[in-house]
């Protein structure tokens, strides 16, 4: 491995001069600094991460707290993770992946030991036990997902309320008057997954406003329960002409259910989901959807975090809560209902 | 944050004594060491990661190099990642996730700067450009996937040769005499994905031995190409009675293709895939499969890596190449062919 000593020799300066030239801790002439930088490039010198962390208080690592919960859909979570880690790398940071079941303890361990310069949290709950730890930590934090209390943190999320209203309005314009909304399982709600009730409450309110009957139910997230529950819904509400899905597992299971029942989209049933375009491609899903924008949310969170990490001005900025406006990606799965 | 100074005060010793008691770098009486350890536990002290890394040459972090390639199937890759990160955590290590497109440069950056104690590489190619970098690095490395040259590294992989033979033999016993094997796309092979030709060559050899006609083709990995290519195959080989899949995307797309053609498994066609049980559940795949064991392979790689990291004895052990024996998970998708 190339050491700072090798750099100093190549630049013809003392070890401490080379070190000061790199750390910027003392004034070094531009000419010497240039010689040292040239030697660094020529030799491919990379400072020891531990030494760099102590010398600069920077680790160049971002912590990513992501839980793979049994009742949420792992492939959807992966997209958020990649949005974060790809953006971090573009900005010169590595990503420490933390998947501990006990997020609060993990967060305390990571922040106390100064392993990271900042943190991104996924799976944010309404009353998230990790947030008091994050607020007390010396490093800044950004959330993908809206908690009940946003103070002291930057927050990025899809505008789920507007997503619910858009789904209902789109179907209303086509002439639908009875719809089913399948949300995530009830235990996701119990755990504090606010995105479930935010979309559902807004959809119910908009349905009342438009004179639409909306059957709002919690779905399942695992096979074979998810297929059975979709079949049960279609049996229970035979007059419903449209299906709204805020549940990736239900969207992935629906093609098989419709095939089995001999139903065609959009002739027999109109369908709108809420998931990413990447998800639709991987799972070959033919349904129009509200784009959940996982890559964009990950990118926004990391960019804001790095602004706070890297500059005084960034640190001093007021905290933000930013919503991505939902967009409907048309895959021709909705039409006027049969009369 | 609790500092070493707080620990020293609570234990009634000097800061350097507290530090020596924790690092073990000087002999400290058992009584003093006990007082310091009690203070650490009481105060919840966690050493600064940078300082710990310098003092002990241990970072307690494992680097995980995983690429999300356009032509491989992201949800399948996720399972290997979680196998690694979950096992690392159980053993007290965090995971640095590295998803750079240029794996060799990323590996050099991570190892030179001593950010990790060891490394696990996924997406291993036959002639992988990262391996010379890994062999020259001061940290040990473990691979999930078999390269052409295993020297100086621990290697863990599914026994793809045996998997190919098992698929053919299973179908042969049921009475099938003409089969199709759909592998990963040809560019995965060109990139050096040895698992593709290892399974295919062994299956072709076994088919010759058993007097079976085996049509071995490279499939696609993205929609809508993967669906079209499956349809094309079934058109091209109308007498084939069984389908073998070494391609997760093809397995995920097959239910829709068979529905559209009005074919039923196993009455009209017998099918065996090669993927994990977790994958089968997430995608609701009804096909019997050779278990690809991503969690088990991740666990084996990390456990071996940590043995090398944590003990002289572990470091001195000969390098291993270990294959997981394939197991056929029966989901009733194979039967005797129609006569």
Alpha-carbon span B323 to B150, nearest angstrom: 13
Judged against a pLDDT cut of 70, whether residue A23 lies above it is answered with no
- CB B242, CB B212: distance < 8 Å: no
| Residue A25: predicted pLDDT | 60
Cβ distance A46 to B256 less than 8 Å, yes or no, reads: no
Residue A175 has pLDDT above 80, yes or no: yes
B101 touches chain A (CB under 8 A): no
Residue A62: band (very low, low, confident or very high) from pLDDT cuts 50, 70, 90: very high
Residue in chain A closest to B260 (alpha carbons) equals A259
| β-bridge pairing A321-324 and B270-274 | unpaired
pLDDT (tens digit, 9 = 90+) per residue, A78-90?
889 988 999 999 9
Rounded to whole angstroms, the Cα distance separating B65 from B98 reads 5
Find the distance separating the first CA and the last CA of chain A, reported in whole Å. Answer: 75
Domain with CATH 3.40.50.2300 in chain A: 61-158+294-324, 160-291
Residue A72 confidence (pLDDT) above 70: no
Q: Give me the long-range contacts of B126-129 (CB less than 8 A, separation at least 24).
A: B126/B192, B126/B193, B126/B194, B127/B192, B128/B192, B129/B103, B129/B104
Quote the pLDDT of residue B70: 66
Residues of chain B below pLDDT 50: none
Share of chain A above pLDDT 90, in %: 61
Question: CB count, 10 Å around CB of A169?
Answer: 17
State residue A65's pLDDT score. Answer: 95
Summarised one tens digit per residue, pLDDT across range A96-121 is: 999 888 899 999 999 988 889 999 99
Provide, as residue numbers in chain A, all residues whose Cβ is less than 8 Å from the Cβ of B112: 1-2, 44, 46
Is there a contact between A159 and A199 (Cβ–Cβ < 8 Å)? Answer: no
**Span of A68-77, A175-184, A258-267, A278-287 with lowest mean pLDDT:** A68-77
Look at residue A252 in the predicted model and tell me its pLDDT. Answer: 87
3-state class of A26 per DSSP?
A: coil
Separation CA B97–CA A84 (nearest Å): 11
Please say whether the beta carbons of B127 and B232 come within 8 A.
no
- Tell me the count of A-B CB pairs closer than 8 A: 148
Residues of A numbered 118-157 whose beta carbons fall under 8 angstroms of chain B's beta carbons: which are they? 138
Residue A24 pLDDT: 64
Restricting to B residues 279-298, those with a Cβ less than 8 Å away from any Cβ of A are 281-284
CA angle B161, B163, B168 (to 5 degrees): 100
Task: For residue B224, say if its preceding peptide bond is cis, omega within 30 degrees of 0.
Answer: yes
Mutation choice for B interface testing from A115, A137, A258, A264 by most B CBs within 10 A? A115
Q: Is the separation of the CB atoms in B83 and B298 below 8 Å?
A: yes
List, as one string, the DSSP characters of A139-204. S-EEEES--S--TTSEEEEE-HHHHHHHHHHHHHHHT--EEEEEES-HHHHHTT-HHHHHHHHHHH
Q: Which residue of B has its CA nearest to A45?
A: B112
The answer to whether residue A319 scores a pLDDT higher than 80 is yes
Q: What does the pLDDT read at residue A41? A: 78
Model confidence pLDDT, tens digit, residues B185-214: 998 888 899 999 999 999 999 999 999 999
> Residues 24 to 53 of B: which have CB under 8 A from any A CB?
44, 46-53
Query: Tens digit of pLDDT for each residue in A237-275?
Result: 999 999 999 999 899 889 889 988 999 999 999 999 999
Cβ-Cβ contacts under 8 Å for B86 (sequence gap 6 or more)? A99, B295, B298, B299
Res B34: pLDDT: 84
CATH class of the domain comprising A4-47 = mainly alpha
CA distance B161 to B326: 9
Between CA A70 and CA A92 the distance in angstroms is: 33
Contact between A51 and B51 using a beta-carbon 8 Å cutoff: no
Mean pLDDT of chain A: 90
pLDDT digits (tens, 9 = 90+) for B156-168: 999 999 999 999 9
Q: What is d(CA B182, CA B200) in angstroms, rounded to the nearest whole number?
A: 9
Nearest CA to B270 out of B337, B199, B207 is that of B337
Architecture of the A160-291 domain: 3-Layer(aba) Sandwich (3.40)
Rounded CA-CA distance A303/A305 in Å is 5
Query: CATH 1.10.260.40: which residues of chain B?
Result: 4-47
- What's the CATH class of domain A61-158+294-324? alpha beta
Residue with the bigger pLDDT between B86 and A224: it is: B86
The pLDDT score that the predictor gives to residue A283 is 76
Is A225 in CB contact (< 8 Å) with chain B?
Answer: no
Of B44, B75, B115, the CB nearest to A49: B115
């Amino acid at each position: 491995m190339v050491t700072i000593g090798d750099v100093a020799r190549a630049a013809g300066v003392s070890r401490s001069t080379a070190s000061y030239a790199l750390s910027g801790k003392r004034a070094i002439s531009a000419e010497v600094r240039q010689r040292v930088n040239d030697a660094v490039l020529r030799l491919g010198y990379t400072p020891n991460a531990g030494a760099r962390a102590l010398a600069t208080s920077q680790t160049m690592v971002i912590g990513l707290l992501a839980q793979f919960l049994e009742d949420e859909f792992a492939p959807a979570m992966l997209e958020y993770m990649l949005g974060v880690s790809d953006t971090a790398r573009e900005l010169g940071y590595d990503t420490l992946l933390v998947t501990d079941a006990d997020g609060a303890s993990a967060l305390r361990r990571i922040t106390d030991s100064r392993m990271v310069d900042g943190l991104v949290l996924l799976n944010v709950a309404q009353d998230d036990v990790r947030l008091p730890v994050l607020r007390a930590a010396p490093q800044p934090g950004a959330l993908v997902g809206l908690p009940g209390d946003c103070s002291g943190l930057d927050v990025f999320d899809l505008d789920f309320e507007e997503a619910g209203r858009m789904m209902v309005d789109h179907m209303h314009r086509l002439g639908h008057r009875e719809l089913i909304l399948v949300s995530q399982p009830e235990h996701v709600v119990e755990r504090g997954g606010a995105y479930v009730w935010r979309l559902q409450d807004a959809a119910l309110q908009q349905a009342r406003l438009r004179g639409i009957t909306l059957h709002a139910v919690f779905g399942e997230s695992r096979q074979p329960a998810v297929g059975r529950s979709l079949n049960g819904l279609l049996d229970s509400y035979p007059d419903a002409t449209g299906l709204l899905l805020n549940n990736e597992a239900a969207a992935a299971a629906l093609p098989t259910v419709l095939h089995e029942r001999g139903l065609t989209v959009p002739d027999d049933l109109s369908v709108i989901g809420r998931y990413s375009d990447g998800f639709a491609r991987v799972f070959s899903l033919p349904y129009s959807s509200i784009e959940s924008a996982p890559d964009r949310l990950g990118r926004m969170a990391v960019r804001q975090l790095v602004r706070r990490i890297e500059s005084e001005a960034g640190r001093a900025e007021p905290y933000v809560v930013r919503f991505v406006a939902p967009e409907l990606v048309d895959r021709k799965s909705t039409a006027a209902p049969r009369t």
